[in-house]
Amino acid sequence: MKKILILLLLCSTLCFGSRAAKHTFQVETGYPKGRSGYVVEYRVPLACGGADAPYNMQWQTIADGKAQAKRDKKRCKAQAR
């Protein structure tokens, strides 16, 4: 049971990032409660070795965020080979 919890915690941090880092980014950019119509995206995805830190985050429109997620998925798969 402990191994499963540790694995889930590790995956949630590596795959989705920490809430604290995201909140810090939001506060630093003047939108502590988020921006309507925008999402926080990583400049270099966590799965590709990007840092889970505010300097690696940016605001993107929802549509741009979805498009970037598709590109990042392909790019990270290619790097893993």
Q: How confident is the model over 59-81, as a mean pLDDT?
A: 85
Residues 14-60 pLDDT 10s: 456 889 999 999 999 999 999 999 999 999 988 888 999 999 999 99
Range(s) of the domain holding residue 38 = 2-80
Give the total number of structural domains in the chain.
1
Question: Percent helix, strand and coil across the chain, each rounded to 5?
Answer: 60, 10, 25
- Better-scored residue on pLDDT, 8 or 78: 78
**41-45 LR contacts (CB < 8 Å, sep 24+):** 41/65, 41/68, 41/69, 42/17, 45/72, 45/75, 45/76
Confidence at residue 5, expressed as pLDDT on a 0 to 100 scale: 45
The pLDDT score that the predictor gives to residue 7 is 45
Q: Decide: residue 8, CB within 10 A, 0-12 exposed, 13-18 middle, 19+ buried.
A: exposed
Stronger pLDDT, 47 or 8, i.e. the higher one: 47
